Structure 1
Amino acid sequence: MSLADSKSFYKQIKVPEFYKKDRLDKVLSSLMPEHSRERLKNWIKDSCVYVNGATAKVRQIVNPNDIICVNEQPSPESMSFIPEDIKINIVDENQDWIIVNKSHGLVTHPGSGNWSGTLLNAILYKYPELSIVPRAGIVHRLDKNTSGLMVVARNEISQTHFIRNMQSRKILRIYVAIVHGHLPKFKTINMDIGRDPINRTKMGVNNPIAAKNAVTHCTPVKIGMLNGSYKVTQVICKLETGRTHQIRVHLSSIGHPLVGDFLYGGKNILGVDRQMLHACFLSFPDMNDNVHSFFIKPPEDILNTLQNINTTN
């Protein structure tokens, strides 16, 4: 669509006479401070900006009195909470909650790099009434490549109930994991977790930023060899807290990263392409103090890996 065909969609800005000539992205950043420079650059690259009637370029120099026309695009954030027809596995539901078995590869909540195609978008499609509940009722998250059980609240009252019970540690969450190395006995890992000071995509326990208390109880159930040469252990992990990447960080910090968890030192064995971690058990009290418990077996990739472990004496 040309500028002439769509003038009504464009915001017109005249570069003030007192401005010095400068790059278009810098000038726009000054004239439209409500938008980030990166977003403005993307609009220029996407031909949403014209200067004096001609399609603009990012490094183009503009002068005082030039006319800039900008077709402001909706932010990814504003478009992220929309229903999408994505298949999800509903384990159980009632008037207050929904139990989901999240598949690995599915992001829980829209965010940077994943503004659509998430569990939240799927929930809004299947349960459109949740559009009025904050975060579409999502109470807690699982990492993209972690599978398993999650609870979603169906109204704000139950969402508040779940959040308070999560904070008071009344919601029981148990995971099955496969880690590198042999973990010989039960171990409680009590290490604060925060943002890694060097790699901001990671969490860590060594001088972390904004660290919070984190406790994971780890019980080895199967110790052996995988693919003939890799020592591995099947571990049952019980969460006492729920920090970002908690199990992955804690096990890596004691020298037992998850098989397939490349971010925290895990390796690819037998074609494993994601961390071997599954939320298999979830238990919580409802608002009448009745306890509900759910178990879901791991998906095929984890089951196959477990079957390939040759136990040691």
Structure 2
Amino acid sequence: MSLSNSTRLHPSTFLLLGIPGMEAIHIWLSIPFCLVYLGALLGNVSILSIIRMDSSLHEPMYFFLCMLSVADLIISTTAMPKILSIFWFHDKKINFEACLLQVFLIHSLCSMASGFILAMAFDRYVAICNPLRHSTILTHRVVRNLGLTIVFRGIVLFSPQPFMLRWLPYCRTNIIPHTYCEFMALIKLACAETRIWRIYSLTAAFLTGGLDFLLIIYSYVVILYTVFRLPSKAARLKTLGTCGSHVCVILVAYTPAFFSFLTHRFGRNVAPHLHIFVANIYLLVPPMVNPMIYGIRTKRIRERFLQVFMSPKL
């Protein structure tokens, strides 16, 4: 289904193809996708419930974890219902306005999730490198303001996207070879000069994920330097174990994100189905894996989970 080259500035609907080249197994792909979504819902709701119920977990790290869980829940719910409707019912149509909203929510919330991971790294940095001042530096007010700043950054940097995409003329096709609406996927459909839009996309990506990742790396270099100066081997191992869950989350979040970002802009030789598949991993797997990592590796959350959900009901 194509659009004429001159009759309309933009289509009323787009068609999402799913994963190009893998249409024959969409129904089979829907099974792990659905399980991942259910796992993300269950895991993040459990994290939020446990931290809310247990006042001993009302600390900066767990507040940031709650913020990350909320962002992950919205990211998953923004994309997954439409993906499953494509796989199950071949419902490929998405309204132009809904597509623009999906672009904004996905990109802004992913930047917020990245910011919350950075905030958690900052919490670990203060707790390990300046433990005596942790409670005075990361007060409830500071935690709240950090969270609001991260949300504000995501909204400000990515709110121009829907307006920029609305102004573009789409006279090539209304078919998007993807499972969800993405800024660069729509840019590639435009029949106008999009150099400024691409520069904006690179700048926004650097000011969120790129800058966050550099600051996280710096914080953990300082943390490791501090840890290996501890006199006790047991203290070093305990501190490294505390940071282990954060490192796992960072790897899960940023590895597919950077692969998707780079292949969208520079990976002309990467197979489309591979790129789209990794883009889905980047969007859907971290929301499922994050609560699992923290639930397994964080002793206080693990104990509270077992106490709440595994204790016999009287």
Category of TM-score, reference length = shorter chain: under 0.3
TM-score (norm 1): 0.23
**More helix per residue:** 2
User: 1 or 2 for the larger relative contact order (CA 8 Å, sep ≥6)?
Assistant: 2
**Higher alpha-carbon Rg:** 1
**More strand per residue:** 1
